A and B are shown apart, each in its own frame.
Chain A
């Protein structure tokens, strides 16, 4: 079945550092790809998405590009802030009919001042 693999955490960075969180996927068909974020004490929120190959999703300074040739959707931000501390989940939508989300295990990011 479809699956998502993302880099193990936790990741600890200093403010203004560059962030990359790797995500690769295995899927039949052409799924949409997502990054969700879970801030401490809050629910899951959609951060960005891409629906087809070579699309770039972006939001709040975060970017990810749908790379079909490498089956990847890595999350990047040029300069992280303390407020970016959260758990980040990579996900794909299953194309089997329900379009349910298949999630990676999550990567906890801590940004220190």
Chain B
């Protein structure tokens, strides 16, 4: 079956612009996670969704970052007023239930110029 998909695969944006990153989890997976992979910080957790609610947003680095999930499926991560330090690969993962194996998407590489 289809795995986790993310779009776009690459995004180049100018500093100060807003960007939206999309994640399509595996069908039926109730838990969804966003992570960020950068050279300096490694792999960091951003936010966790159970269904459409986000009980753990502790990894969002600033209020410029927000995310939503609709229909218990697709999730969008939005970064407002992008900064150069936002450049990273943003990874989405889903799991059938919280605590089950997380399946990762291929990531979106964001470059802020």
A residues neighboring B (CB under 8 Å): 32, 42-46, 49, 89, 91, 93-94, 96-106
Question: Are B55 and A97 interface neighbours, CB within 8 A?
Answer: yes
Give Cα distance in the complex from A49 to B44, angstroms: 19
Closest to A102 in B: B45
Residues of B in contact with A (beta carbons under 8 Å apart)? 33, 35, 42-45, 48, 50, 55-56, 59, 91, 93, 98-99, 101-107
A15 CA to B90 CA, complexed, in Å:
33
In whole angstroms, what is the CA distance A103 to B104 when docked?
14
How far in angstroms is the closest Cβ of chain B from A24?
16
Closest 10 pairs (CB-CB, A-B): A103-B43, A98-B56, A98-B48, A44-B104, A100-B45, A105-B42, A43-B106, A99-B99, A43-B104, A99-B98
Contacts of B50 in A (CB 8 A): 98
Shortest CB–CB separation between residue B19 and chain A, in angstroms?
Answer: 20
Decide: B56 and A43 in contact? CB cutoff 8 A: no
